[in-house]
Amino acid sequence: MNLPTNNGAGASDAGNGGAALRIVGKGADEEARRKGIDQAANGNGASVVAIAGTLKHHMNVQHNLCSALEALADKLPADVRNDDCLALARSVYPIVHRSHVFEEQTLFPFLKAQCADVPDLGDTLDRLHGEHWEDEAFAEEVHHELVAFAADRSQINVEKLSYMLRGFFVGLRRHLAFEREHLLPMVEALEDGR
């Protein structure tokens, strides 16, 4: 199972020595992306290219997270390895939170400054801000349930866990689709006009 990691490091499969996780963002591309994030986050010198690239990166990582959660939900209970379950549990909140920090601290202020004439932009960003709180609270619940499942499967209602995972990734996918349809085109229009 390919799972996103929260820090770019993969966990190894203790059973056969193979990689249990796919590594997200490694090498020169990751270094360039991080440099772009630092440039984008400094406020006045925000680079449209860095913001667009970072937004796309976070969307892709969250999409991969949703796919990993769906794969895990489909395999419950017998076909789930504890190390995959724990790696996913450790990844879910940091991936979502990191994306939200970027959006709240860099993307949203950038859009407010550059796209002030877009109708209802403030309302849209307020809506997304509220969804961020909900998604992060839900991510914490998913984390705790996955850890509990890995610790003692007999104590967890598998149908409830599967339903919870599906509720989380369906909601996150809906959030990402909205951002892809509404925010990304604004950023890309600014990127094209640079």
Residue 7 lies in a domain: no
pLDDT, averaged per 10 consecutive residues of the chain (194 residues), comes to 43 36 43 50 65 96 97 92 94 98 96 93 96 97 97 93 97 97 94 72
Query: What is the number of structural domains in the chain?
Result: 1
Residue 58 lies in a domain: yes
Give DSSP secondary structure letters for 72-90: HHHHTTTT--HHHHHHHHH
| Residue range(s) defining the domain that contains residue 182 | 28-192
Residue 166 lies in a domain: yes
Distance CA 33, CA 55 (A): 11
36-187-189-191 Cα dihedral, nearest 10 degrees: -10
pTM for the model stands at 0.78
Mean pLDDT of the chain: 83
Please write the tens of the pLDDT for every residue from 141-168: 999 999 999 999 999 999 999 999 999 9
Is-contact 57 25, C-beta < 8 A?
yes
CATH assignment of the domain containing 99: 1.20.120
Q: What was the pLDDT predicted at 194?
A: 57
Please write the tens of the pLDDT for every residue from 79-108: 999 999 999 999 999 999 999 999 999 999
Instruction: Give the closest residue to 147 by CA, choosing from 75, 68, 62, 89.
Output: 89
Distance CA 95, CA 24 (A): 11
Residue 15 lies in a domain: no
Longest dimension (CA), the chain: 57
